[in-house]
Each structure stands twice: as structure tokens, then as C-alpha cells.
Amino acid sequence: MHRSTISRSRRALLAAAVVSATAAVPLTGVPANAAPADGRQQQYVAAATEYGVPESVLLGVSYLESRWDTHAGTPSTSGGYGPLHLTDAAHVASLPAGSHVDEGEDPRGDTSRPLTLRAPKNAADAPAPAALRTLQAAAALTGADDEALRTDPATNIRGGAALLASYQAQLGGPVGAATDPGAWYAAVARYSGAETEETATAFADEVYDQIRLGASRRTDDGHQVTLRARKVTTETGALHRLGLREPQGRAGAECPARLGCEWIPAPYEQYGPTVGDYGNHDLGDRPAQQKIEYIVIHDTEGYYEPSVGLVQQADYLGWHYTLRSVDGHVAQHVKAEDVGWQAGNWYVNAKSIGIEHEGFAGHGTWYTEAMYRASAKLVRYLALRFGIPLDRQHIIGHDNVPGTVASTVAGMHWDPGPYWDWSHYFDLLKAPFRTTGTKRTGLVTIDPDFAANRPAFVGCNRQPPGVPNPPPPAEPCPLRGSSAVVLHSAPSQDAPLVNDLGLRPDGSPNTMYISDHGARASAGQTYAVAEVRSDWTAIWYLGQKAWFHNPASAPTARWATGFVVTPRPGKATIPVYGRAYPEQDAYPAGVAYQTISPLQYTLAAGQRYAVGDVLPSEYYKATTFDGSSPGDWTVIRGDLRYVQIQFGHRIMYVNLDDVLLLPSLVGAPR
């Protein structure tokens, strides 16, 4: 979009336009959980007064940017700072943009046709758009220095108010703290930083929906802030003055209403001399031919524009959607009926939709509220359309996708990482983590208080790809909210962490390195309870007891009920798999058998694991560009059935014939 800043002299004009901020604001109601306001609330009032912005508009915009959190002055995944998410392109340029895959990695995860990616083409450098330079614009308007705008909440709020007022003045709208909030609609839309009118509208609609609903919460630095619910009628006529572009191919995008979305297709084309040299996804006929079971949440490990550039390379890899951090804009690349090369496990790829979110799993950045909300809208739409349950057994992170065979376990990805707020995300999905149960019902669903749960991770300063525990130095990560709880080998904070054989075959404990996910459980994941001792709970995890601190005064998990598996009588151990493939007899003549190969883990008698689903054995054969190979573009099904279980941080599968499927109450620890 085209955006200009205003001069310092305009600031005086804006201040002169402010009308009395003491005028009464009509309210339709106050949230039931509203609590007395404190100093942070007064900072919003003061900034609204100074720059002539209705308080409800300033609070609503800030909520849609950060939910009023400060994130201790650290940047978002789009380089935005503070409660008003003032963006700094200089910071954006300082983070290393990755390609999301490691050298030699196979994103298809199909041993019948291993894919070695060519080196990605480097995206050309381009000037940062105005949406990524709002901090500098706020500095010009307020006279504040850049560092104060990044780190001081009051200064940051003033900067956001000044920007809103400047946009309103440039649009010719009324300026003043007592003006009709609905008259600020176009200025709010511009604040989103969106390039398309549809995305700007979606952002503004979310802000005004929140104003009508109201909100009250305690921020991450302990301040109570309240947005009182009120009726408001928006004036949208000035939107066209923003001069925003039309989305590309909107009619072709599979997106819900009220979501800014465009169609930027990934190429399905041959790039080499053989029919196997093609990319960057496979054609399919889902769900008619094969049920879509999963939606996989990724982050790009890079920025939006370069990532969208990569997905348009035929000799790279394809996923279904990419979301932009600053405004929640959505680009679709692969149709839902087709199979993306995105999760590194062909069984999961064939049965999933992959959604990439602009950002970094472990650089100490935070995901924006605008992107969380856009993602939740998209995922809820897809889940309802394809009958995908809204739970953590089916809405999974890339970090929950298992390795295909033992040799691929260590190289599997760990995004979107421990700073993705799963609990808030599922609240936005309208599927909050609600459970029933007691210490004796046999299951527990992880659900720490995100803001208060701040594990002491290290290594956000350096992340060599594919290395879960590089040698020091690994600096401490910024202490910030996390969905992850850390798992110990005994009920003590001093006990070593548990071991993940797939990452450390020597049996040594995992570490607190940010990418070393082998001793963590994440919000929404459900595990079988192994033992409870005072403030500590043990779960069955990768074949061992794993302990986490779970005091009644500040629980990090919820007691739950459901189903578990345990080995059938007479079986000392049973194998665990990373894909649910058919037996050999199911393959037709001319189609190579895909070996049922167990992972390095085993499930021993006496252990129990939470059930996610019972699934048919399937293999989708797609190895040539034109379907010329025998059996191509067909789903091969067998008589075997598998049970998806929460075995570690990742989901895995066991043969239904190997296990008893029991209510969690049966045999639960007492």
C-alpha cells in the first residue's frame, strides 16, 4: 500500500483538533470479568486525549495488535514492538531469513520417491513497505526516540495514538477523543498495514467487533486493562481513499468470508527430463479419495515475501497457505484437494493441509494477534468444511509430526515452537481446552498459564539447522510466555530432563536448548497419567515416566477422561510407527511395497498412552508428473488399522491388533 508520514508540525494541528476527553462515552455493557483499571489504562486515556483518538478505538486497535501485552520490549515476527505493534524494518532485516528446510531434507517424506531440494533462489532485496516502518513514523510524530518507542509502554501507546490520528487527519475525518468511534473505520483499516482492501477491512472489522464485545484482561507485565463494550456503527465510505490493491485471484482462494485472502498458486509442472522431475506438490482428489485428517501449523522461519517467492518455485516445495504477520493476510498456493510437500512425512502430507505463518520458532519473537485471528478463522473454516475435529490430535504443529522411520526422527522440524500460544489459539477456534476428570480418571491435558509459564530456554541467539543441542555458547532466551511444560526424569526441578532416544540414542538427557523439544509437552496435548506425587504429575512419555510441576494452587494441566491403549496381554513390548501404512498384500502388482518400519521407541507392558484416533492403513501413490507409473494417483488401503497415540511431543501410531483400547478410568493410577 502507499503510505506517507506527517511532519512534526502536523502534531500541533492534531493536538489542536482534540476535543474534551471528559465527555461521557455511552456504554452498552461492561465485560463480566472487568476489574478496576490501573496505570496502564490511564496511559491509554492520556494518549487518546493528547492525540484526539477515541479511547475505545485506541484500545481496540491495540488489542488486535498485541492484546495490550508489552512482550518486554521484544519484537514480533514482523518486527513490531509494544502494545501498539510499532514496526521497525531495521530489526526485520537483522533476523536471518531461512528456507524452512535443511540441506538434504526430504519434505515429501516418501521413501518411494525421496526428494532432494535444489538450493532456493534468493529473493531480491526490496525496500521495506511502510507497514514495516511505523516506529519511525511514530517517532517523527511524537518526538520520542526509537528506543523509548520500542521498550516503554506509555511511549509506545502515544506513538500508536499519533499514527491513528495522522491517518484520520489525512483521510479528512474528524479528530478528537469524543468523536464517534465509527468514523475512524478507515484509519483503523490503514493501521493494519494491509496491502489489500479486503485484508484492511477484515482487520478493522475485528477491531470493531472487539469494541462491541468489550474485553478485560491482565497484561503480561501485570496491568489490568478494560475495554468497555459499546454499540458502534461504522462508516466505511472512506476506505477507497486508501488506494489499496485488489487481491490476486480472490475467486480461486478457498477462504471464509471476512478474511483477506488471495490465490498465489504453487506450480505443478515438470522441470527436468524425466516424469519424476516435477514439483512442487501432488495432485489429489481429497476428500473424495482420501479423508483429510490433520491441519498442520507451521512457521516459515523467514519472512512473508521471500517465503511466498519460494513456494512459487517448481523445484522447491509447496504448502497450502501462507499468513502474513503484520496484518493476518492469507495467500493460498495449493488447493485443499491436492497434497502439499510440507510436513516431511508422506502419510501426514497425504492426509493434511499445511499452513505456514510468517515468523520464527526460536528467535525470541512473538506471533501477532492479527495473525492468530486470521489463522483461527481459516482453520475453523477448513475444519468444518472437511470434518476435522478441533482438537490437538488433529490440529497439530509441525513439531508434532512424527519421523517416518527411525533414521528421519532426529531431523524432523520443531516449529511453530514453544512460544506459539495454543490455548489462546483454541479459544479463537471456539474450541477451548475444557475437560472433566480428577486425579483418578487417568488422563491429563497440558494447559499452563501462558503468560506466567516462562521456561528458561537458551539458544535463541543461534540455531544451526538440524542440530538439537549445539555446543555453547547458547545465550538465555528472553523470558516470555510459553505453551510448553518441561519434563523431568524425577519429581524435582533439579532432576535431569527425560531422554528422547530419537534425538539422543546414547540415553543422555535432553536440554533446555530452544530447538531441543524432546523433553516437553505442549498445551492441549493429552497424556496418560503414570503417577501423582504431591505437586508433581508423571505422564507416560516415549516409554518412560516424565514428571512436570503441577501444583493445585497454580496447575499447569487439567485432569481429563478419554481412551488409552496398553499392550495386549502376553506382549512385553510392541512397536511404534511414524506412519500408518498397509500390509504388503494390499499393494497391487507393479506397485512397490512400502515397508512397515518401526521407530526406535517401544511401548512396554504396563504403560498407557492417550488415544487420538483409530485410522485405516493407507498409502497414496504419487511418483510421476503425468500419472504414468503403475498405480499412480491412487490410495492403497489394507486390512491393518492403527491407533494414533500421544507418545511423546509428537503423535505416533501403533497397530490396533497389538493393543487393548480402554477407557482411561480402567487401570488408572490410584
Closest CA to 205 of 60, 46, 308: 60
Q: How confident is the model at residue 115 (pLDDT cuts 50, 70, 90)?
A: confident
For residue 27, what pLDDT band results from cuts at 50, 70 and 90? Answer: very low
CA separation (Å) from 427 to 105, 190, 310, 380? 34, 27, 32, 11
- Using left for φ > 0, alpha for ψ between -120 and 50, and beta otherwise, residue 525 falls in beta
Give, to the nearest 10 degrees, the angle between helix 39-51 and helix 8-17: 100
Q: Render 136-197 in DSSP notation, one character per residue.
A: HHHHHHH---HHHHHH-HHHHHHHHHHHHHHHHHHTT---STTS-GGGGHHHHHHHTT-SBH
The dihedral through the CA atoms of 117, 328, 246, 195 has a sign that is negative
Query: Would you say 596 and 486 are in contact if contact means Cβ atoms under 8 Å apart?
Result: no
Residues 527-556 pLDDT 10s? 999 999 999 999 999 999 999 999 999 999
Flag whether pLDDT at 15 surpasses 70: no
Give just the sign of the alpha carbon dihedral 26, 28, 30, 31: negative
Q: CA distances (Å), 116 to each of 317, 384, 523, 540, in order?
A: 10, 35, 34, 36
Q: Does residue 501 register a pLDDT over 60?
A: yes
Inter-helix orientation angle 8-17/153-170, to 10°? 80
Q: Provide the grid cell at 66.
A: 498485541
The tens digit of pLDDT for each residue in 120-130 reads: 655 544 556 88
Q: 486: helix, coil or strand?
A: strand
Angle, vertex CA 493, rays to CA 401 and CA 364, nearest 5: 50
Mean pLDDT of 84-94: 81
Q: What confidence tier does 418 reach under pLDDT thresholds 50, 70, 90?
A: very high
Does residue 520 contact residue 488 with C-beta atoms inside 8 Å? no
Instruction: Give the mean pLDDT of 396-419.
Output: 96
Give mean pLDDT, residues 30-48.
75
- Contact in structure between 55 and 22 (CB atoms under 8 Å): no
Mean confidence (pLDDT) of the chain: 90
Residue 23 has pLDDT above 50, yes or no: no
Q: What is the DSSP letter of 59?
A: H
* Amino acid letter, 576: V
d(Cα 461, Cα 459) in Å, to the nearest integer?
Answer: 5
- For residue 22, pLDDT beyond 50: no
Distance from C-alpha of 543 to C-alpha of 604, rounded to nearest angstrom: 7
pLDDT above 70: residue 33: no
Q: For residues 619 and 586, what is the distance between their CA atoms, to the nearest angstrom?
A: 10
Whole-number pLDDT of residue 52: 98
The number of residues making up the chain comes to: 670
> Which residues on neighbouring strands pair with residue 560, listed in sequence order?
443
Q: What is the mean pLDDT of residues 423-446?
A: 96
All structural domains of the chain:
8-88+133-242 (1.10.530.10), 251-425 (3.40.80.10), 566-663 (no CATH)
Of 517, 193, 435, 237, nearest to 325 by C-alpha is 193
CA distance 442 to 663: 9
Q: What is the pLDDT of residue 97?
A: 53
The confidence band for 276, taking pLDDT boundaries of 50, 70 and 90, is confident
Q: State the pLDDT at residue 89.
A: 79
Residue 2 has what pLDDT? 30
Does 583 have pLDDT greater than 90? yes
| 170-184, 247-261, 286-300: the lowest-pLDDT one | 247-261
Q: DSSP for 329-354?
A: -EEE-S-TTSEES-SS-HHHHHTEEE
pLDDT at 363: 83
Contact partners, residue 270, CB within 8 Å, separation at least 6:
277, 278, 314, 625
First to last CA, the chain: 62
Of residues 433 and 112, more confidence is placed in: 433
pLDDT bin (cut points 50, 70, 90) of residue 334 is: very high
User: Which of 87-101, 237-251, 480-494, 591-605 is predicted least confidently?
Assistant: 87-101
